[in-house]
Structure 1
Amino acid sequence: MASLTCLPYTLPTVSPSSSSSSCTTCLVAGNPKRSRLGLKNSHRRQSFALTTRAAVDGVSSAVDDVSSAAKGAVDDVTSLGRSPLKLKLLSAVAGLNNGLAASEDDLRKADAAAKELEAAGGPVDLSTDLDKLQGRWKLVYSSAFSSRTLGGSRPGPPIGRLLPITLGQVFQRIDIVSKDFDNIVEVQLGAPWPLPPIDVTATLAHKFELIGTARVKIKFDKTTVKTTGSLSQLPPLEIPRIPDGLRPSSNPGSGEFEVTYVDTDTRITRGDRDELRVFVIA
């Protein structure tokens, strides 16, 4: 009977600490073909390990991409969730001529719709999102206009009563760098027959500052009146500012309001005299 040393290969002695690669080397040491086979198997294992690692890295990267996409989708869904509320608010103020034609019932509906959108949007923090105010905004509703004056509860000429004035579009132009805050009002002034009415754009220039996180204070600077239409060639007229000492207490030349909702295309403010205003980006 042949001894174990005469066998074409040597049986390895396997210990718990031995690695699989060392076992393979021992097993094929006496046979070149088996040795080459062992090397091939070793290369295959290494290749499989690298492939597996690449696959794991790919899955990890894909998970990160999915996480980013999921976060974006959540943001989109949140924005879309507010869209019906914005539509509800804009529908409530539509056809009210900026609030001039609003009844008591219209005022209540607009206020309720605004509160729903404000609640959905959460607290406004302009200390970090001041750039959201930047741009030209069109007024679509003011609760103060229901009193049928240009200034609402503030002093102002009556519309369609003593003076033949027709209110047109109202805009706010805000520049967060220069701190300019301009109220731009388009009005039509009646003229004695047979003269045509005069179209005028009045720009009430202010400077603004942020108070806290969502409150804005504006300080009046000057008023510029410019004719438009057939008289647009006339130069603008700057109305002198009333000195602070002569200014009536009812018209201090400054005011404050709180921005209660703002996104890329819609803004809600509530004034210091409970005035609700709704703007859309122009």
Structure 2
Amino acid sequence: MPEISALKVELAELGARTEVGFDAGGADVERIKALAAALEGLNPTAEPSRAVALLRGRWKLLYSSFGLQRDTTLARLSFNVLPKSPIRVKELFQEIDPATGLYDNVVTFDGEDGFPGESVTLGEYAVVDDHRLDVRFTEALVLGPGAPVRLPLDNARIPPLYSDVTFLDDGFRLNRGSFGNLYVLERLDPAPLRWARDG
């Protein structure tokens, strides 16, 4: 549908203009909210949480209302399990594999020394209903110079999390998280040869 295509294009453009949500606030954010609501009203997939072929793949985050920080620490990305090493976030991705329940958040970054790295919060999901996924994160992984660091998460300290899939087609997805945050994602690869967690 031309209307859906136009909404997706404008959402992607505004996501870039807000730097994926790092530059939050202002008229652009209000417009993103309106566009997302309009797109959700045109969702072409009746049971998005069960649409395994559409969900599977590597997704790039185009926008988030979560309150992202470009300059942060590994600890903040890992529920305080990893060290408080300063990093500068470059890009954010999500990887989903319905066959195994894999639901990983992936962040590429530059470390304090300038070397690139990758942080993976390993997770798994279960379908609750036609829209909702229950999400549980289990481990934190850092890939970069030197040996990988992989540590378990203390799930007793992490509140129950869910994600509602509110729009889904073969290349674009909207999710609303446990705290009402909006996530706009574009699918880069429906069948990656490997997942980030595999190094």
Instruction: Return the TM-score normalized by structure 2.
Output: 0.80
Q: Contact 1:181–1:205 (CA<8 Å) still a contact in 2?
A: yes
Secondary structure of the corresponding residue to residue 145 of structure 1: coil
Deviation string for 1:100-127 (max 9, x for gaps)?
0122322211111111111122674136
Runs of 4+ aligned structure 1 residues displaced above 3 Å come to 146-151
Q: Contact 2:57–2:187 (CA<8 Å) still a contact in 1?
A: yes
Indicate how the Cα distance of structure 1 residues 243 and 177 shifts in structure 2: closer, same or farther if over 3 A, else same.
Answer: closer
Deviation string for 1:105-157 (max 9, x for gaps)?
22211111111111122674136523211111000110113576869xxx937
Deviation string for 1:49-100 (max 9, x for gaps)?
xxxxxxxxxxxxxxxxxxxxxxxxxxxxxx3331111112212222222100
Larger-Rg structure: 1
Secondary structure of the corresponding residue to residue 111 of structure 1: helix
User: Which residue pairs with 2:148 in the alignment?
Assistant: 236
User: Which residue pairs with 1:224 in the alignment?
Assistant: 141
Instruction: Pick one of 34, 50, 54 that aligns with 1:112.
Output: 34
Instruction: Pick one of 21, 46, 55 that aligns with 1:99.
Output: 21
Is 1:168 aligned with 2:90? yes
Q: Report % sequence identity.
A: 26
Q: Which runs of 5+ in 1 are unaligned?
A: 1-78, 191-195
Q: Which runs of 5+ in 2 are unaligned?
A: 78-83, 189-199
Whose helix fraction is larger, Structure 1's or Structure 2's? 1
Q: Distance in 2 between matches of 1:147 and 1:182?
A: 19
Q: Which residues in structure 2 correspond to 1:63-102 (within 5 Å)?
A: 79-102=1-24
Instruction: Pick one of 187, 199, 205 that aligns with 2:122.
Output: 205
Letter in 2 for 1:226: L
Q: Distance in 1 between matches of 2:49 and 2:62?
A: 26
Indicate how the Cα distance of structure 1 residues 112 and 213 shifts in structure 2: closer, same or farther if over 3 A, else same.
Answer: same
Q: Distance in 2 between matches of 1:120 and 1:213?
A: 16
Q: Contact 1:124–1:259 (CA<8 Å) still a contact in 2?
A: no
Indicate how the Cα distance of structure 1 residues 149 and 211 shifts in structure 2: closer, same or farther if over 3 A, else same.
Answer: farther
How many residue pairs align between the two structures? 181
Deviation string for 1:223-245 (max 9, x for gaps)?
11110xxx3xx22111233362x
Secondary structure of the corresponding residue to residue 213 of structure 1: coil
Q: Contact 2:139–2:151 (CA<8 Å) still a contact in 1?
A: yes
Instruction: Return the TM-score normalized by structure 1.
Output: 0.58
RMSD (CA atoms): 2.5
User: Which residue pairs with 1:265 in the alignment?
Assistant: 171
Name which structure has the greater RCO, CA cutoff 8 Å, separation 6+: 2
Q: Which residues in structure 2 correspond to 1:7-86 (within 5 Å)?
A: 79-86=1-8
Instruction: Pick one of 123, 128, 131 that aligns with 2:53.
Output: 131
Secondary structure of the corresponding residue to residue 153 of structure 2: coil
